[in-house]
Amino acid sequence: MRYTLYDKIWRDHVVDEAPDGTSLLYVDRHLVHEVDSPQAFARLRHAGLPVKAPNKTLLVVDHNVPTSARSKPNPDPASAAQIAYFAENAALFGLEYYDEFDRRQGICHVVGPEQGFTLPGTMIVCGDSHTSTHGAFGALAYGIGTSEVEHVLATQTLIHIHNHVVREASCCEGEAGGYVSR
């Protein structure tokens, strides 16, 4: 039987599968930004839980960073507070953190590939709709919600159902190139 790259990566990350197809998947990499994480970190604090795999978690301040004049205080007090809480959580949980002054800081989905955090064959999650862009690097990537961010931080796993893969359309008939499989 032929398997797609999606199927192969999925199969390699299944921890458990329920009869209805719901699977518990191991997460290799977790990108976290300051917008989707405050509630997740607050719930971990409240429950007294650590981050399961700090070495597989990367915090990147992203959405609330001004694009110019970073040497000046953030003009938006709510954004500044969110960034401060993010930094506090990074220190409290011992997580690698790229703050707004770090040379490596940027859009989290650019930072992942640039810094070697995004790798082929890995399962990546981030609380952002653009997370699937990591698929361009041969990773299986999902954008997740805040409660899922909390779950991944606490367990390094994600509950998900296997997606259906669509085969190529008739526009792709003919011989496949040397690096293309069908």
Indicate the pLDDT class of residue 168, thresholds 50, 70 and 90. Answer: low
CA distance 72 to 173: 57
Query: Per residue in 29-71, pLDDT tens?
Result: 999 988 888 999 999 999 999 999 999 999 998 877 777 777 7
User: H helices within 20-145, ranges in order?
Assistant: 38-47, 77-93, 108-114
Instruction: Give which of 101, 92, 7, 11 is closest to 57, Cα–Cα.
Output: 92
pLDDT value of position 167:
61
Q: Work out the angle at residue 108's Cα, subtended by the Cα atoms of residues 58 and 143, and round it to the nearest 5 degrees.
A: 90
Beta bridge partners of 57: 30
Give the integer Cα–Cα distance in Å for 62 and 178: 39
Any idea what DSSP says for residue 18?
-
Amino acid residing at 8: K
- 171 versus 1: which is more confidently predicted? 1
Residue pair 100/119 in contact by the 8 Å Cβ criterion:
no
C-alpha closest to that of 131 among 147, 107, 154: 107
Tell me the per-residue pLDDT of 10-38, one tens digit each, with 9 for 90 and over. Answer: 999 999 999 999 999 999 999 998 888 89
Instruction: Quote the tokens at residue 94.
Output: 């011992």
pLDDT digits 0-9 by tens, 75-132? 889 988 998 999 999 999 999 999 888 788 878 788 888 999 999 999 999 987 778 8
Task: Give the pLDDT of residue 173.
Answer: 66
Token pair 């690097």 is at which residue? 137
Look at residue 34 in the predicted model and tell me its pLDDT.
85
User: Helix/strand/coil (H, E, C) string of 111-158?
Assistant: HHHHCCCCCCCCEEEECCHHHHHHHHHCCEEEECCHHHHHHHHHHCEE
- pLDDT number for residue 155: 98
